[in-house]
């Protein structure tokens, strides 16, 4: 499998080169030349396969011969060694819980897969690798955990000051060792822009070996398709595939789901649930895309005004608006609706959502009102405890603290405070 740049000005790269570079030299995102089809009989017999077999089958064509089969199988097994249960909430809505990994967030899968792939690829490189990552919340903690202690790799995480939850901030600022957190006085788009500028800076790249751990990196983006296979494996009515609603910020997760769908996984329809950062929602209403300044909401990991992976969604459907609109709908959910959904679902159904899951639930409810014969799945992307400062006042009781969270609550954060000025950031990297 070869990858081209979405800006179409760069030579093709294999999975190894695309993973190591992160972003294409022409500033585009790497995208697979083709979407492979699943093996004959795979879907019909999906109940017979283990989680490891499903993940290996889905990802191997994208990796090609850049990683030996046995090594890739080991990477996959280590990536998904926790549960992905499908839990019924109402008669028509189920939750695929993606928060049972080490940092209690769906980003654990992509971060663990990429860290292991990169660790394999850099074995023969006699240069320290610096991984740059911008986070609006969960990416930072997952990347920090996935890369912690990996030999030959330093990780620099940029996050917007005051715009991630207290638990998220502790997860990315308390590890130390090869993990550095930079607290930016700005929003997520400012953080993402600094990372993109660093990759585009030829002189900086001569000095440092840079790569990215955001979902712009194919090794972070593509393994997210595993979720959708696990959802369908647990779906009992195989003849009537589910509608899948994804809380969407940078749009990497839902784009990975679309890759699974185009490979041959049955999905009736996708719903992109967004908060007030609704540039893709507006595109689906009008056919015109316009980025916007990110605004802060209760579902902070989705506070992205210019989603990087929107271009991949367009590539998947050949930039044809009718094809995109046929595959995915979108709903924009306010903070007031998020709180009301969180409270109502807890009181009526004894199911506690996190703010992002609440956005997805509200979005799927709106879609199902328009399509009452359908049933659907939300992706519950984080444990509610990661947002206890939002959730507890709504449900008026404490959220249970898992052991992994209790261990960091009393730790002191260590971060480098910085303005969103590229020159300052560059000088820090070089120092």
CA distance 169 to 347: 29
Q: Is 413 a catalytic residue?
A: no
- Could you say which of 16, 51, 107, 339 is catalytic? 107
CB of 273 closer than 8 Å to CB of 330: yes
| Cα-based angle 338, 344, 350 (whole degrees, multiple of 5) | 120
Tell me which H or E stretch contains 264: none
CA distance 420 to 431: 17
Residue 231 neighbours by CB under 8 Å, 6+ apart: 84, 86, 96, 242, 244, 377, 379
Q: From the CB of residue 73, how many other CB atoms can be counted at a distance below 10 Å?
A: 16
Give the DSSP per-residue string, 385-410.
GGGHHHHHHHHTSPPP--HHHHTTTT
Collapsed DSSP state (helix, strand, coil) of residue 245: strand
Beta strand segments in 118-242, E: 129-134, 153-160, 179-184, 209-212
Collapsed DSSP state (helix, strand, coil) of residue 120: helix
Give the gyration radius of the chain's Cα atoms: 20
The upper half-sphere exposure of residue 195, i.e. CA atoms within 13 Å in the direction of its Cβ, equals: 29
For residue 411, give both structure tokens: 């730790």
DSSP state of 299: S
Give the DSSP per-residue string, 341-382.
HHHHHHHHH-----HHHHHHHHHHHHHHHHSTT--EEEEE-B
CB of 278 closer than 8 Å to CB of 259: no
Query: Could you give the residue numbers annotated as active site?
Result: 107
């Amino acid at each position: 499998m070869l990858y081209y740049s979405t800006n179409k000005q760069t030579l093709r790269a294999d999975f190894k080169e695309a993973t190591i570079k992160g972003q294409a030299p022409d500033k585009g995102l790497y995208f697979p030349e083709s979407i492979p089809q699943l093996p004959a009989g795979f879907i019909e017999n999906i109940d017979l396969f283990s989680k490891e077999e499903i993940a290996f089958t889905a990802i191997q064509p994208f990796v090609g011969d850049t990683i030996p089969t046995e090594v890739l199988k080991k990477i996959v097994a280590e990536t998904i060694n926790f549960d992905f249960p499908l839990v019924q909430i109402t008669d028509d809505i189920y939750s695929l819980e993606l928060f049972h990994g080490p940092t209690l967030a769906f980003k654990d899968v992509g971060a663990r897969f990429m860290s292991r792939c990169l660790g394999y690829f850099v074995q023969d490189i006699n240069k320290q690798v610096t991984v740059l990552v911008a986070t609006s919340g969960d990416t930072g903690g997952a990347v920090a955990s996935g890369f912690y202690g990996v030999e030959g790799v330093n990780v620099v995480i940029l996050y917007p000051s005051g715009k991630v939850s207290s638990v998220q901030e502790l997860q990315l600022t308390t590890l130390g060792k090869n993990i550095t957190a930079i607290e930016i006085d700005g929003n997520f788009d400012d953080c993402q822009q600094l990372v993109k500028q660093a990759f585009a800076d030829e002189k900086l790249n001569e000095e440092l070996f840079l790569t990215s751990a955001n979902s712009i990196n194919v090794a972070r983006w593509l393994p997210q398709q595993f979720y959708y296979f696990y959802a369908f494996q647990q779906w009992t009515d195989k003849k009537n595939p589910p509608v899948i609603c994804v809380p969407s910020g940078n749009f990497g997760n839902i784009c990975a789901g679309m890759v699974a769908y185009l490979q041959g996984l049955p999905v009736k329809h996708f719903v992109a649930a967004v908060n007030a950062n609704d540039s893709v929602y507006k595109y689906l209403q009008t056919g015109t895309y316009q980025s916007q300044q990110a605004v802060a909401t209760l579902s902070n990991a989705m506070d992205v005004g210019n989603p990087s992976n929107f271009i991949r969604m367009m590539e998947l459907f050949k930039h044809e608006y009718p094809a995109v609109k046929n595959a995915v709908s979108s709903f924009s959910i306010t903070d007031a609706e998020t709180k009301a959904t969180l409270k109502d679902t807890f009181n009526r159904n004894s199911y506690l959502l996190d703010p992002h899951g609440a956005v997805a639930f509200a979005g799927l409810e709106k879609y199902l009102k328009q399509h009452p014969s359908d049933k659907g799945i939300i992706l519950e992307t984080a444990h509610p405890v990661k947002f206890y400062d939002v959730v507890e006042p709504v449900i008026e009781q404490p959220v249970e603290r898992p052991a992994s969270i209790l261990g960091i609550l009393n730790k002191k954060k260590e971060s480098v405070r910085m303005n969103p000025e590229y020159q300052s950031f560059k000088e820090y990297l070089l120092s």
